[in-house]
Structure 1
Amino acid sequence: MQQPTLDRMFLALSDPGRRAMVERLSLRPATVKQLAEPLGMRLPSAVKHLKVLEEGGLVASRKRGRERTFRLQVEAMRTIGEWAHSREAAWHAAFDRLAAAMQEIDEEERQS
């Protein structure tokens, strides 16, 4: 996965409304209206948000007649999960260093 693609995914997820749409789509495909209503969002705004999600590779749409249905791109979510998992070791190492430094400070204070 190239970094710009991951950047677009995180950009798409940076908005709470778009994250709510992704949550809804994780349950089942939905139309623009079904995604907009619970958020109190007007249809043109919802379409713009969905375009960002689509450009980020997080959702795909399909038009049948006059209705456009969106669905979650599960592979994109896996990509984000794999990225987070790869960072997990670095995060644990950083927390281990922090814990060791805090223990050193605590020991120095007890000796003073």
Structure 2
Amino acid sequence: MSQLLNKQVEHSTYGTGTVVTHSTDRITVSFAGAAGEKGFVYPDAFGQYLTSTDPAVQQRIEDELRVRAEQAEADKLRREQERQAEIARLAEEQLAAKSSKRKSSRRTTKAQ
């Protein structure tokens, strides 16, 4: 986390700024002039608006963004698999219930 404190970053609109605070999910950058201090979501802003002037730091951030994207994709796939399993389970339950009703209906008809 502290790897970014006092580091220079470039913003697509505000120009060059210095990182003044950095937490797990937020970053504050001080830009020159009227822009002043701006807060960003970390590390997401580096995928859209910010780049580090230090190539090594930029690479670490890009790696973090890639890992997060891979985790999000894996979570999405897991949720879809769970949803498909639930759909299959419900379909089996419905089929079993219909089959049970038919057997019960046949027994009632034969008894009469």
Q: Which of the two has greater helix per residue? A: 1
State the structure with more CA Rg: 2
Q: Which of the two has greater strand per residue? A: 2
What TM-score, normalized to structure 1?
0.39
Q: Which has the higher contact order (CA 8 A, sep 6+)?
A: 1
What TM-score, normalized to structure 2?
0.39
